[in-house]
Structure 1
């Protein structure tokens, strides 16, 4: 009997949707860590300062206490956020884990900036469509792994079971099917086309995306994905994803040029001394 291995979706602990004041204080937390985290103030001191600033009636105060305890022992935020899965979403924890990884290029300042924009977006009319597009664009622009990233996204409390299963199903399709096609085939715009042509919708869908998203995806098929993300961000109203800044190697280039100029000057000086027959080669002898 042939046994086929069945790939099971990982089970994530999905916390509840937090109250509005929690996201207000989270936005303040990540904003301060983004603005001053890479400066002269260590994260431990910033968390201690935020411990006294945030609203005392929110659960963020207890979360900061736990983060402070963990960072004093291990120097990392990720392990503590894993233990606080009832408060922080899996996507928030995933970004912090990637920023603290020794082998990754995802900067912690970028993670704080992304989380600050996401917390502010949740204070507005945040829809599952806009939140998913924002989180997925973060994975693309930051070059994070789709498998672990989509798994973390699927555990967000804003998504219901149908949304979570659809996001988990994307892990096997990303890279094989154009992302614009995946959005179009899961939109109400595609469903309306099937119904208009009197075709059956059985076995297709789920049609989770609205018709406007489907039209934008259909118009950007076989194009550069940056055009798709740009159009979606303009029309859906979710925050702009921070783009990785190119490495400024101008200082290194100037130092290499200065060293090369010094070597050229030394060679020219030796050539002039040799031409005038004043070159003293004894100065190059090894001193005993």
Structure 2
């Protein structure tokens, strides 16, 4: 598990990921980007050494996620998980989207409003919006020093029950609002206790049986929780031109058939396959 980092580490991580996201669309190789950004980071932090190791791993394997995995004392398991998904040949998770997610999380962790509640809900929204594996993603999300033993145990329960029990219900039951609404208290042997405040519970109760994205939106509007970056819409232009060319070709073929029909008939022999 990674260690709890100082605020300046998160501030520099946010700058690092923001710069990568902004410059990745300029066609600059990632290797060159890492070398350039390294000189912008405060040398009083551990990030320059981490970037240097990431650059060396990139030269060897073509990926940075193996380096992040080996630097588990610095990068969280969830950060590594996102980069692994972005660099996977089988997935459709965009690299730039992953970088933007890491940037927003680092900004949240360096802010005065950071909380385990906000971090969990942010990460859950990331998994939901990008259609990433809940099983692997929640396992990685729980492995974080920001979550104490109670939180890690509860996230494990969410991981097992998601798809069976709605997230809004699970948040509601673990909130202060649950006791006021149902006039019931948690069992005496319950070791997890209350994890969410009354306002989170009230919003969760109001969003039961609804799209989970509506729950996230309500929490962000009323409690200021950070929204997860949305994936960029796919660029259909590269596929659009070949599609238009095929349509024009079919239209030309139909026009030729109509012209031949007007001239006195269609010669269907040219459609025969040579025997």
| Alignment of structure 1 residues 1-288 onto 2, 5 Å | 14-124=1-111, 125-193=113-181, 196=183, 201-204=187-190, 205-249=192-236, 252-269=239-256, 271-272=258-259, 275-276=262-263
For residues 95 and 133 of structure 1, the distance between their equivalents in structure 2, rounded to whole angstroms, comes to: 16
For residues 16 and 164 of structure 2, the distance between their equivalents in structure 1, rounded to whole angstroms, comes to: 39
In the superposition, the TM-score normalised over structure 1's length comes to 0.85
For residues 267 and 212 of structure 1, the distance between their equivalents in structure 2, rounded to whole angstroms, comes to: 64
Deviation at 1:94, TM superposition (A): 0.5
Q: Which has the larger radius of gyration?
A: 1
Is the contact made by 2:129 and 2:230 (CA closer than 8 Å) also made in structure 1? yes
How many residues align structurally?
Answer: 271
C-alpha RMSD of the superposition: 2.7
Q: Deviations over 1:86-125 (max 9, x none)?
A: 1001110010001011111111111000000001111112
**Per the alignment, do residues 273 and 52 of structure 1 end up closer, same or farther by CA in structure 2, a change over 3 Å counting?**
same
In the superposition, the TM-score normalised over structure 2's length comes to 0.89
For residues 105 and 70 of structure 1, the distance between their equivalents in structure 2, rounded to whole angstroms, comes to: 23
**Per the alignment, do residues 270 and 178 of structure 1 end up closer, same or farther by CA in structure 2, a change over 3 Å counting?**
closer
For residues 200 and 247 of structure 1, the distance between their equivalents in structure 2, rounded to whole angstroms, comes to: 46
For residues 86 and 156 of structure 1, the distance between their equivalents in structure 2, rounded to whole angstroms, comes to: 10
For residues 222 and 112 of structure 1, the distance between their equivalents in structure 2, rounded to whole angstroms, comes to: 32
For residues 254 and 221 of structure 2, the distance between their equivalents in structure 1, rounded to whole angstroms, comes to: 59
Deviation at 1:265, TM superposition (A): 2.7
Where 2:98 maps in the other structure, the secondary structure is helix
Stretch deviating more after TM superposition (61-70 or 267-276):
267-276
Tell me, which stretches of 5 or more residues in structure 1 are unaligned?
A: 1-13
Tell me, which stretches of 5 or more residues in structure 2 are unaligned?
A: none
Deviation at 1:168, TM superposition (A): 1.4
Is the contact made by 2:97 and 2:232 (CA closer than 8 Å) also made in structure 1? no
Where 2:92 maps in the other structure, the secondary structure is coil
Stretch deviating more after TM superposition (61-70 or 240-249):
240-249
Stretch deviating more after TM superposition (36-45 or 179-188):
36-45
Is the contact made by 1:191 and 1:201 (CA closer than 8 Å) also made in structure 2? no
Deviation at 1:193, TM superposition (A): 4.6
Is the contact made by 1:70 and 1:80 (CA closer than 8 Å) also made in structure 2? yes
Where 2:26 maps in the other structure, the secondary structure is coil
